[in-house]
Amino acid sequence: MTLYRATDAADTMNMVAMLIAAYCERTGMAAHTLDSYLQVGQQAIRAHGTDEEDRSHVAGLLGEALSYEAMRASTNRMRYHRGQRQAEQAQQPEDDPQKLFTVACLHGLKARLCDDVDSLDSYLPPQVAAMARKVAEALEVPELATT
């Protein structure tokens, strides 16, 4: 189910990116600039399934050894080492304000959608929880006054 939800999220984010791209195009952004912002060279299709590079990345994330055969390909080695670096970075406290804000926005949105704003305080660092609560409050739909 997690994979199902992740692919739904990827599709939704793709739709959001294309909506923003259409707006940028409409306001006159140059095609080459738009392509660079869309990172079109990084687009991957899920239909082909996983490959050796993906398995190498996971091995690096999980701290597992990579087979000799897999290590022979430079792209596998690169993805393996990237996974190792990401695993190491995940163990370090986050201090980038932009990343903290992004995390807070995502948690605030989720809390509002699930109508569970109180859950924010139970598992987030205090400064992220405070920002996430503000995001959730901003997304609250005001009740209409009845006459």
Closest CA to 117 of 84, 100, 140, 86: 140
Report the pLDDT averaged over residues 132-140. Answer: 86
Residue 94: predicted pLDDT: 65
**What is the number of alpha carbons within 13 Å of residue 42 lying toward its C-beta?**
6
Per-residue pLDDT band at 147 (split at 50, 70, 90): low
CB-based contacts of 48, cutoff 8 Å, min separation 6: none
Question: Model confidence over 52-75: pLDDT tens digits?
Answer: 999 999 999 999 999 999 999 999
Token pair recorded at residue 69 = 């055969």
Answer whether residue 2 shows pLDDT above 90. Answer: no
What does the radius of gyration of the chain's CA atoms come to, in whole angstroms? 20
Whether the Cβ atoms of residue 56 and residue 76 lie closer than 8 Å to each other: yes
For residue 33, how far is the Cα from the chain centroid?
Answer: 22
3-class DSSP string for 104-143: HHHHHHHHHHCCCHHHHHHHCCHHHHHHHHHHHHHCCCCC
Answer whether residue 125 shows pLDDT above 70. Answer: yes
The Cα–Cα gap between 2 and 8 comes to 10
The Cα–Cα gap between 39 and 46 comes to 17
